[in-house]
Chains A and B, each alone.
Chain A
Amino acid sequence: MTPAQVPWAAWLLFASPVTAILLGFFVLRRKPEWTHLPILASCAIVTASAFALAARVYTGHSFDLNLFRFAEAGTWAIDFGLRVDGPGVAVLAMVAFVGSLIHLYAAGYMKGDPAFGRFFLIFHLFFLAMIGLLTANNFVQLYLFWELVGVCSYLLVGHYHQKESARKAALKAFMTNRVGDFGLLLALLLIVLQFKITHFHLLYLKVASGAAFELLPLIGLLLVWAACAKSAQFPLYFWLPDAMEGPTPTSALMHAATMVTAGVFLLVRAWPLLAVVPGLPDLIAWIGAFTALSAAIIAGTRKDLKRILAYSTVSHLGLMMLALGLGQVGVALFHLIVHGFFKAALFLCAGNIAHALHQPTANVDDVGGLQKSMRLTYLSFLLAACSLAGLFPFGGFFSKDAVLDAAWHRGGGLAAMGMLVAAGSAFYIFRMLFLAFYGCRPEQKRAPHAHEAEPILGVPVLFLALGAAAAGLLKGPIERFVTAGFRGLPSGLPGLEVVLNLPGEPLLPHLNMTVALLGTLMAALGAFAAWRLTMSDPGFDWRWRGGPVEALFDSDFGYKKLVDGFAAAVSRSAGFVGRVLDKGGVDGLVEGTTGFVRAAGGAIARSAQGRINDYLWWMLAGTAILVVRVLR
């Protein structure tokens, strides 16, 4: 395949966002309130292109080719190219569709913001970065977009930068991701050292050849570390709940489509490398299960609506990691895509609530009984919540069932934790639903002015919610996409026809009746508990607060203190190095030479104070030496 044969759609994926951003930056500078127009057009083009590509891949026309040489020195070289294969294009279609709806929503939500133009440009760049990440064909290219995603999220989280909390959250997000990038950058360097190439498919072939690569375990570990930062997994999850300081569309885009999914996607891309390292898949599974369960518990105790959803994202990403660690790449992707729909819908619903209250965010103290006044939002929220909780026949049921099925087959702690997460998810989302939309408890403020959002805010949410409800239908196509991605490519680089003998079955499991029933039972249990503690005992949520238990949950079981302590230690040590060691020590030594020279000069000066007698003595001594020299 040559670049000329690359379908138009693939070029458009990049050309239209770049054009829109350049237009917005240069041409519409004086009309920032129009910035969103080319960008929305670009979203439409990107979505159409993504679906066109998906259709091509679906019919067996995946491709992977190198376009140009990025860097070269001697025998060392890195090529950039385009890889349009099943996993990439499946996520791409979801990102394009969900992302475009969020763009539309943002056009309404951000209207009147003084930095409307800047927001939209960065927002679209964020989107573009994710598209690039999904179509990269090698690790360096992926890293490029990975970092771009990080920078855009930094700028968006810090959008309301007059607020200190927003600045702190932005910095925390970026620095945590930077700590994760330490792993990715090092892994990249090690990959180059070990394999001399970074191209995904050639790496798969090399690893599949069965040769021993001694650096592979380290590479795998570092990649998992990087994914933990980006996908907000323990021990690097803590930035994500704070990142909701950004405008709501940003949160929706970050949580559903463009940011946190990147980590899972990285592991999907690297899966053939990770799978051959003994113990590494188990590690991923345990990290995922642990994070999923802890985050689900914390999500059940939060008051801020967006914060509940943020912890929920952490929890669901944990489920994806769990599936991945169990070798179920397809399941992980399936859940990633379904999650994209319902999480985007939920965030935008939370945004609508805040918008109705004319507040940047809303928490359970502010609202209650919105069911009547915000019918459309309520309906969307209900659909998405059922999907998240995994109730039949909503989308989340199928994907979560697949994850639980994988864990069930492994059995033991992972299966138990999976089931508990199912219960926990249903609990926190229904708790949120009941608290926000039902009753209006005496502790909650009445919101008499709350009104339904205008159509530009309501319609995208409804679409997303419908998508979330129906996402179960995607199971078949995704199965096919996953197979298309790993079972060799029909064209492209030589040697790619070789069918890879991958460990782990990438196909999605069939519905297992036991697991399905058990999972539904757990979800029902969670939902019932939520009803019991919010509806039949409406004051419960306010009664238990204020004690040490709340402090325990507030500090994420003490982990936040540990992280803050670490950050403080780093800045203290920087202070020590900069002020004491460098200024006092090294520079002190240098500046000290002046003092030394001055002291030595002073000592000599004391012997020459201009007294004639002293000079006479010197003269005498000199003459004496001369006389002795002459006479001898």
Chain B
Amino acid sequence: MSLTAVVWATTGGLFSFGLAIVVLRRQLLAMLLGLELMLAAVNVSLVHHAGMFDDAEALAVVALVIAVAAAEAVVGLSLILRMRRGGRGADAALLTELQG
């Protein structure tokens, strides 16, 4: 079993795990966690493939993704905090404003 196969299996698993959390859980904090997990999985995969193809641009993208993940965590966490202060807990099912 080569390294690539191991990386694919790991990142694929992590990504699917994160996706499942995001889609299935209604706890907003857990969903944010799942999101982070998916981004991390993509990052691992990117790093591995950047090494394989000797591509510096991909490493730059990795840095970008980390920045995005951080920014997203900031916005997401503050939104969750705002919601808890509003007394609505952190349940995604209660956020139905999109229905209009």
**Chain A residues engaging chain B, CB cutoff 8 angstroms:** 605, 608-613, 615-617, 620
Contact = CB atoms under 8 A, between A and B. Distances in A.
Nearest to A619: B23
Contacts of B98: 610, 612, 615
B99 A613 contact: no
A620 B98 CA distance: 18
B93 interface: yes
Contacts of B24: 613
Interface string B1-41: 00000000000000000010011101000010000000000
A615 B26 CA distance: 12
B74 interface: no
Contacts of A611: 92-93, 95-96
Given A608-B99, A613-B26, A615-B98, 12 more contacts: A610-B95, A610-B97, A611-B92, A611-B93, A611-B95, A611-B96, A612-B31, A612-B95, A613-B23, A613-B93, A617-B23, A620-B19
Nearest to A611: B93
20 contacts: A605-B99, A608-B99, A609-B96, A609-B99, A610-B95, A610-B98, A610-B99, A611-B92, A611-B93, A611-B95, A612-B31, A612-B95, A612-B98, A613-B23, A613-B92, A613-B93, A616-B22, A617-B23, A620-B19, A620-B23
Interface residues of B, number: 14
Contacts, number: 29
Interface string B74-100: 000000000000000000110111111
Contacts of B95: 610-612
Contacts of A617: 23
Main secondary structure of the interface of B (DSSP, over half): helix
B63 to A, nearest CB: 25
A616 B26 CA distance: 11
Residue among A605, A612, A620 facing the most chain B CB atoms (10 A cut-off)? A612
B15 to A, nearest CB: 12
Nearest to A616: B23
Contacts of A612: 31, 92, 95, 98
A617 B95 CA distance: 16
Contacts of B99: 605, 608-610
Nearest to A615: B98
Contacts of A620: 19, 23
A610 B92 CA distance: 10
Nearest to B23: A616
B84 to A, nearest CB: 16
A417 to B, nearest CB: 87
A321 to B, nearest CB: 80
Contacts of A608: 99
Nearest to B22: A616
A610 to B, nearest CB: 3
List 4 tightest A-B contacts by C-beta distance, closest first. Answer: A610-B99, A610-B96, A610-B98, A612-B92
Nearest to A605: B99
Nearest to A612: B92
Contacts of B96: 609-611
A304 to B, nearest CB: 77
A613 B23 CA distance: 6
A612 B93 CA distance: 7
Nearest to B99: A610
Contacts of B92: 611-613
A483 to B, nearest CB: 94
A612 B28 CA distance: 10
Contacts of B31: 612
Nearest to B100: A610
A616 to B, nearest CB: 5
A605 B98 CA distance: 12
Contacts of A609: 96, 99
A215 to B, nearest CB: 70
Nearest to B98: A610
